[in-house]
Structure 1
Amino acid sequence: MQQMSPEERQQMIEGMVSGLADRLATEGGSPPEWARLITALGVLGRVEQARAIHAEAMQQFAGDTTALDMLDTAFTRVEANQ
């Protein structure tokens, strides 16, 4: 990865985030995986997409206060870094 150009690194990161988003949308995943996606989207500057994923995950894990706290924490960090 160190030998990659900034553009190549960005493309690789985008591919990894896209792959995670696709997998979570089709297969589901754990709260930490959803939080990781929310955080990654924030780092990429996709705050609106992070907001939509956060809302989706909140519905998926409704009733699981630990999961909801984790998801809220991830999105709060995204909003704080705008």
Structure 2
Amino acid sequence: MTTAFQQLGLTLPEDMFATKKNAKYTIYFSPSQEDVATGTGGLQAVWSNKTIFINPPLTLMGKVVQQLRIVSNCTAVVIAMVWPNQ
């Protein structure tokens, strides 16, 4: 995945929804306190003036979309699952 982003010219330094086990980048926000996480709660992090990676739980997708609509100067790669029967 990182190679694809590099080919597009994207550098994604921050992961807004991750844990120590699945973080793709060294700067990440986890749902609970972790010793190596940058912080907790990706929705509370500053998104303005950044390029970020977002792979949220499905239950938070609506809030993610809301956040993206109000922040300024944010480039985001959002992973959104498609569930055809829902």
Structures share fold, TM-score greater than 0.5: no
Is the strand fraction higher in 1 or 2? 2
Is the helix fraction higher in 1 or 2? 1
Higher relative contact order (CA 8 A, sep 6+): 1
Q: Taking structure 2 as the reference length, what is the TM-score of the superposition?
A: 0.34
